[in-house]
Chains A and B, each alone.
Chain A
Amino acid sequence: MAPTVPLVWYQILAAVLFTIGVVGVLVRRSALVIFMSIELMLNAVNLSFVAFSRQHASMDGHIFVFFVMAVAAAEVAIGLAIIVAIFRNRETASVDDVHLLKG
């Protein structure tokens, strides 16, 4: 039996990816990069799902991953449209310039 990668390694990788995503959302100013960071977080979760699924020999995790990917695709389509619309109107994609909700 070939030596397998232990589950915890997957978890560590997923956690690292997720943290990079969170930090990216919090510190980057470009809306596009923030978007990519969100994708990173989603994929970190996906990785974790698949790993657990393999561990438990069940298909549930795989199914979840497909849902996450489908929803993420829809979200990207809408999110990019919003970013394009904002850019057209304001000629910027920096989130700091979009703060109409300031009280």
Chain B
Amino acid sequence: MSLSLLWLVPTLPLIGAIVNGFGAGRLPRKVVSAIGTGSVGLAFAIAIGCFAQMLSMPAEERLFVQQLFAWIDSGDLSVPVRLALDPLSAVMMLVVTGVGFLIHVYSTGYMSHEKSYGRYFAYLNLFTFAMLMLVLADNFLLMFFGWEGVGLCSYLLIGFWYQKPSAAEAGKKAFVVNRIGDWGFLIGIFLIFVTFGSLDFGRVFSEAPGRLVLGSALATAIGIFLFIGAMGKSAQIPLHVWLPDAMEGPTPVSALIHAATMVTAGVYMIARCHILYALAPTALLVVAIVGAVTALFAATIGLVQKDIKRVLAYSTVSQLGYMFLAMGVGAYTAGIFHLMTHAFFKALLFLGAGSVIHALSGEQDMDRMGGLKPHLPRTHLTMLVATLAIAGVFPLAGFFSKDEILWSAFSSTTGIGKLLWAAGLVGAFLTAFYMFRLYFMTFHGASRVTPEAKHHLHESPGSMTNPLLLLAVLSAIGGFVQVPLLAGGQRLGAWLEPVFADAARLQGHGTGAHAAHNPGLEVALMAISLAVALAGIFVAHRFYVADPEAPKRLADRVTSFYRTLFNKYWIDEIYDARIVQPIRRGSERLWHGFDAAVIDGAVNGVARQIERGSAFLRLAQTGYVQVYALILTLGLVVVFGYLALR
């Protein structure tokens, strides 16, 4: 297949979105499903074709640029709509279309009872289009277009059940918090344009080493502002608050947008701009610290949440933290690797959770689950694979990717590498614990299911379980694309090598941190992280299977700490009291004091004066034709009189 079909990859979902959007409510469900899943499936097929084509090319030539049309051409600013396929965007494209396709298929089962079926698929297709534009963009502005597009679709899909006030609120919250991030991203783009006079990736990145001084304030500012954008989109502290609330959306949406693809856009953006970050070590350090803190912090909240989707949401925040940690220590391949494996197992976890929720007629509280293993055999099996994968148990995908991040942190030259490694390790323990807490509370122990839900309890249809099985296979074997220590095992690293090689050169060490390392140490660290994961699983087993009363006893002993965790460190409350309410009060004062009094007063005052003046003029309009005729005649007499007497 020829690479020139690349433009079809984003266009097909766009066509699907348009057809389903305008046909919403008119097209039969079967047609909607066929268009919705078919367009993404076809895009996935073309993406695979492009990938295969690229694979057959020599490594240095793996860059394909397709100009579609000129978008903005104004003075110095020239922004074409141009797609670029390189190894990095190819990986993202495959993840987006592949995982996206499976989730579309799953949605046909999960949303089968839904009234606005067409609207749902129109949004989902539109999201796929925007996400593909984001990853395939060839310049910052087009990337920003995709960035805003996925934000819009995220808002629409979180608030999909807009009749529910909490869902509408959550959608708004996601939108507003993302605006804060987008502000940073935009400032970053402006700085880049001012500095380089261009927004083209190719030009900016090739000129960056010449124009930006290593470690200069400008380079750091660009890095930090871009990272603020990434923090918003990828839910990093302190802009993480929207992601847990985003769970109000349908579960497949949580899987696609808020786990597998959109939230990783920030990671992708930093990987894409790695040259700029290579020139700004301070910004990179900030990225690493924010990532590590988020990984640890979100994991602690995940320990005590009761809502199955919220546990997964905090887990996502935490795993995204790992990816940023990897970016921050310059281990871009490890970050993208974790992004990919995380897309597999976290999408699987969400879809599995969706299957559980579907089976229990909408129940999300884990206190009303338990003992579901015999009822949901396929869901149980696939969830177990995903849970083992995220916990980092050998040889599942999560083990390899998380371990590579931890190793990169440990061996990094940043100075606080060991500290970051320790934070990651504690996070790994917490991850294993809360994920197995979720698993045990859902599938094992005594059943706490309500009689009502028990009555309808059923395994999900094939359209839902088949994507689960496929994702389970990917979660199990996905790690083997990047096997450490083995010669020729780092296939993903070799694939991404042409993209990241320049950053490694700039930073002064070889391909990542792996050039001069000690295999014995790496194996030892691997053993440590595996032991930590197993310890987490063991503790979870003790707490939730062997002695189900233990968590309650512990919670009673450290009440205040438990309550702080359960209430997510009161961050929502703090934001509300310190930021939201003051802004609200200030706005209300402006509204009454300035808008209503000054602006409305001026506008209404002018109108009132005109009205008063016209009331006087209106007296001339008597409505009697003969008066008008008389005035006309008198006018003529005056004119002729003047002419005659002159």
Which A residues have a C-beta under 8 Å from some C-beta of B? 22, 25-27, 95-96, 98-103
Q: Is the CB of A25 within 8 A of B626?
A: yes
For A101, list chain B residues within 8 Å (CB).
621, 623
Q: Is the CB of A26 within 8 A of B626?
A: yes
Which of A25, A99, A101, A103 gathers most chain B CB within 10 Å?
A103
Q: Is the CB of B629 within 8 A of A98?
A: no
For A96, list chain B residues within 8 Å (CB).
624, 626
Q: Is the CB of A95 within 8 A of B626?
A: yes
Across the interface, name the chain B residue whose C-beta is closest to A27.
B626
DSSP class of B's interface residues: helix, strand, loop or mixed?
Answer: helix
Q: Is the CB of B623 within 8 A of A102?
A: yes
In the bound assembly, the distance between CA atoms of A84 and B330 in angstroms comes to 94
In the bound assembly, the distance between CA atoms of A100 and B131 in angstroms comes to 63
Total interface residues on B, CB under 8 Å, equals 10
In the complex, which of the residues A26, A98, A99, A100 contacts B633, with contact meaning CB atoms closer than 8 Å? A26
Across the interface, name the chain B residue whose C-beta is closest to A28.
B626
Q: Is the CB of A102 within 8 A of B622?
A: yes
Q: Is the CB of B624 within 8 A of A103?
A: no
In the complex, which of the residues A26, A99, A100 contacts B629, with contact meaning CB atoms closer than 8 Å? A26
Whether B618 sits at the interface, judged by CB under 8 Å, is: yes
Q: Is the CB of A22 within 8 A of B624?
A: no
Q: Is the CB of A99 within 8 A of B624?
A: yes
Interface residues of B in 12-60 (CB under 8 A from A): none
Across the interface, name the chain B residue whose C-beta is closest to A25.
B629
Q: Is the CB of B626 within 8 A of A99?
A: no
Q: Is the CB of A103 within 8 A of B621?
A: yes
Q: Is the CB of B618 within 8 A of A103?
A: yes
Interface residues of B in 583-629 (CB under 8 A from A): 618, 621-626, 629
Across the interface, name the chain A residue whose C-beta is closest to B617.
A103
14 contacting pairs across A/B (C-beta < 8 A): A22-B633, A25-B626, A25-B629, A26-B626, A26-B629, A98-B625, A99-B624, A99-B625, A101-B621, A102-B621, A102-B622, A102-B624, A103-B618, A103-B621
Quote the shortest CB–CB distance from A15 to chain B (angstroms). Answer: 13
In the bound assembly, the distance between CA atoms of A103 and B618 in angstroms comes to 6
4 residue pairs, one from A and one from B, having the closest CB atoms: A102-B623, A99-B623, A103-B621, A103-B618
Quote the shortest CB–CB distance from A86 to chain B (angstroms). Answer: 12
Quote the shortest CB–CB distance from B638 to chain A (angstroms). Answer: 15
Q: Is the CB of A95 within 8 A of B633?
A: no
Which B residues have a C-beta under 8 Å from some C-beta of A? 618, 621-626, 629-630, 633
For B629, list chain A residues within 8 Å (CB).
25-26
Quote the shortest CB–CB distance from B577 to chain A (angstroms). Answer: 58
Across the interface, name the chain A residue whose C-beta is closest to B633.
A22
Q: Is the CB of A95 within 8 A of B623?
A: no
In the bound assembly, the distance between CA atoms of A26 and B630 in angstroms comes to 6
For A100, list chain B residues within 8 Å (CB).
623
Quote the shortest CB–CB distance from B332 to chain A (angstroms). Answer: 76
Q: Is the CB of A95 within 8 A of B624?
A: yes
Quote the shortest CB–CB distance from B637 to chain A (angstroms). Answer: 10
In the bound assembly, the distance between CA atoms of A27 and B633 in angstroms comes to 12
Q: Is the CB of A99 within 8 A of B622?
A: yes
Which of B618, B621, B626 gathers most chain A CB within 10 Å?
B626
Known: A27-B626, A103-B623. 12 other contacts (CB 8 A): A22-B633, A26-B626, A26-B629, A95-B624, A96-B624, A98-B625, A100-B623, A101-B623, A102-B621, A102-B622, A102-B624, A103-B621
In the bound assembly, the distance between CA atoms of A101 and B620 in angstroms comes to 12
In the bound assembly, the distance between CA atoms of A25 and B636 in angstroms comes to 15
In the bound assembly, the distance between CA atoms of A99 and B622 in angstroms comes to 8
Across the interface, name the chain B residue whose C-beta is closest to A29.
B626
For A27, list chain B residues within 8 Å (CB).
626
Q: Is the CB of B630 within 8 A of A95?
A: no
Across the interface, name the chain A residue whose C-beta is closest to B615.
A103
For A103, list chain B residues within 8 Å (CB).
618, 621, 623
For B624, list chain A residues within 8 Å (CB).
95-96, 99, 102
In the bound assembly, the distance between CA atoms of A48 and B264 in angstroms comes to 95
Q: Is the CB of A95 within 8 A of B625?
A: yes
In the bound assembly, the distance between CA atoms of A100 and B622 in angstroms comes to 10
Quote the shortest CB–CB distance from A75 to chain B (angstroms). Answer: 16
In the bound assembly, the distance between CA atoms of A32 and B626 in angstroms comes to 14
Quote the shortest CB–CB distance from B369 to chain A (angstroms). Answer: 75
Which of B618, B621, B623 gathers most chain A CB within 10 Å?
B623
